[in-house]
Amino acid sequence: MATVFFRSADRQLSLTGKTALKAFILGIFKKEKIALDSLTYIFCSDAFLLQMNRDFLQHDYYTDIITFCLSEKGQSVEAEVYISIDRVKDNARILGISPKQETLRVIFHGALHLCGYTDKKKSEITLMRSKEDQYLRLFEKSI
């Protein structure tokens, strides 16, 4: 049975309705027709994620999310998604939206990466944003 977990590294996620959110994330994988085994979201600080970015991706810059698929191609997805709460809060402030909305967007962004969506080219970014918006609207309607 597929499972979604929320964990903390050095930052706590202050988000209500986690049970409904977990069920919704499972629904994303069903809608996208991707088999999910387990998905763990780990919330952390900028410093924590910067060090992971350096250690694992050889990138020396801040990011809001890093997604690691731990399963082999063709197997049910098993993954870890690291999210910087500091970066999410800053991005929300810059975008003029609530931290909750930006947190949800980033959570869905990680799930969409695991469903095969990428965001390297302009056309991919456009599609990714469209899917994020779609799932944000659906989630808001579901709660």
Express each pLDDT in 31-53 by its tens digit: 999 999 999 999 999 999 999 99
Q: pTM value? A: 0.95
Helix axes of 122-142 and 99-114: crossing angle, nearest 10 degrees = 120
> What band does 28 get if pLDDT is binned at 50, 70 and 90?
very high
Is 95:87 a contact under the CB 8 Å cutoff?
A: no
- Best CATH choice for the domain 3-142 from the list 3.40.50.10540, 3.30.70.260, 3.20.20.70, 3.40.390.30: 3.40.390.30
